[in-house]
Amino acid sequence: MSAPRIAFLSTAHVHTRGFIDNFLKAADGRTVGAVWDDVPDRGRRYAAMAGAPFVPDLAAVIADPSIDGFIITAENTRHLPLLRQALPAGKPVFCEKPLVTNGVELAEVQGLLARHPAPLFCGYFHPFGAAIQAAAALVQAGAFGRITRVRYRNAHHAAYGRWFDNPDLAWFHDPALAGGGAFMDMGTHAIHALLTLFGPVREVFAVIGNHSGIYPACDDNGIALLKFSSGVLGTVEAAWTQTGGIGGLEITGSERSLWNTAEGYVTGAPGKPAEPLAPAAERPTRVDRLVAVIQGEVPAAELQADLAACIGAVSVMESAYASSQSGRWMAVGTGAHNPDWKGTP
């Protein structure tokens, strides 16, 4: 098979530069075949970086027979209009996370997929790394005994670092374009990872707000409790105000536990020394995953399971925001939130 030619649909996301760098450094001949953007100046800048043509006609990019797949790196609330056009083409689509930001949009995406079952995945990467792949194998093997509690922290200091002052990235703190703030941005990774490992969530209770006041139009932190259908109780922490500490996954079981340290993940049990977690083989993510999907190297069952977690993350996230607004536990799939809500300082 010839090396894949891939089109960018928008270049709004902070990860766009890194994705283009992936193409420029790859040794397999993958190329950016076209760049479209609803902000032409921005699109032209990234097209020049990629050594690709800027094409102002979205329909022409979608219809181009030389394009093998699409990368959607638009603002979060602008994913759906691009999915409406890209999915009917039947080519693999890598859409930055979250897939969409509310249940109404999610239902439309599911309808699109029912009519146009193109391969679709999001920009999640946590479950596919060497450590979490190893943890997943232990979960499947029952090595923890009965798992009772899990936790995932995904946080950095973006607010204190003023990462989103750049005009190209200001949309990250505009709820109308981002669908939320730090919890939407960072919490979705943690939720997707836990759904991948432990299955669906039935209820959520969350407290989401703003600590720093730096990007006051949106939240900059959040903590959610998740009741999994399996009976496991989970905690998600997400923030743009994390100034230290260790993030990642924690699993507590009746036989042993897993947690992260400065030296990497370990497992341990009462009365026994902690043992380093032997890493497993990584799975491809993001641009590498799109190339692998185009080349038929990702099993259909793996894609299906991941898409279920991508879809589930939208429902859990919406219910988390609704819970924080109402102060009550919220059944997953039943709570709509106001995208203009800023959270409680």
Query: Which pair of structure tokens corresponds to residue 60?
Result: 């022409």
Q: Are 146 and 278 part of one and the same domain?
A: yes
For residue 337, which amino acid is it?
Answer: H
Same-domain status, 154 and 107: no
Residues of the chain with pLDDT under 50: 341-345
Question: Which pLDDT value is given to residue 175?
Answer: 97
Same domain (yes/no): 219, 325: yes
Same domain, 106 and 181: no
Is position 105 within any domain?
yes
Element (H, E) at 258: strand 257-261
Q: How many other C-beta atoms are found inside a 10 Å radius of the C-beta of residue 60?
A: 11
- For residue 239, give the H/E element and its range: strand 233-239
SS (H, E, C) 150-192: EEEEEECCHHHHCCCCCHHHHHHHCHHHHCCCHHHHHHHHHHH
Asked whether residue 13 falls in the same domain as residue 76, the answer is yes
Q: Domain range spanning residue 28?
A: 5-122
Number of domains present in the structure of the chain: 2
The residue from 60, 95, 122 where one domain ends is 122
- Please tell me whether residues 162 and 303 are part of one structural domain: yes
* CATH code, domain carrying 16: 3.40.50.720
Task: Return the pLDDT at 344.
Answer: 39
80 occurs within a structural domain: yes
Q: Is residue 337 part of a domain?
A: no
Report the Cα–Cα distance between both ends of the chain, in Å, rounded: 54
Residue 340 domain-assigned (yes or no): no
**180, 191 Cβ separation under 8 angstroms:** no
In a domain, 151, yes or no: yes
For residues 160 and 168, give the distance between their C-alpha atoms in angstroms, rounded to a whole number: 18
Looking at residue 2, what is its pLDDT? Answer: 85
Is 220 within a domain?
yes
- Same-domain status, 69 and 138: no
Would you tell me how many other CB atoms lie within 10 Å of the CB of residue 244? 5
- The reply to whether 115 and 244 lie within a common domain is no
One domain for residues 107 and 159: no
Are 75 and 217 within one domain? no
CA–CA gap between residue 277 and residue 264 (Å, rounded): 8
Identify the domain boundary among 99, 122, 145: 122
The enclosing domain of 271 has a CATH number of 3.30.360.10
Q: Do residues 167 and 204 both lie within one domain?
A: yes
Of the candidates 32, 25, 55, which has an alpha carbon nearest to the alpha carbon of residue 43? 55
Task: Look at the block and give the residue holding tokens 């649909």.
Answer: 9
Instruction: Mark which of 102, 122, 142 sits at the end of a domain.
Output: 122
Q: Which helix (H) or strand (E) holds 226?
A: strand 221-228
Query: Model-level pTM greater than 0.85?
Result: yes
Q: Rounded to whole angstroms, how far apart are CA atoms 303 and 85?
A: 21
CB of 89 within 8 A of CB of 64? no
Rounded CA separation 291/295 (Å): 6
Contact 212, 159 (CB under 8 A): yes
287 in a structural domain: no
Identify whether residues 143 and 236 lie together within a single domain: yes
Q: Residue 344: inside a domain, yes or no?
A: no
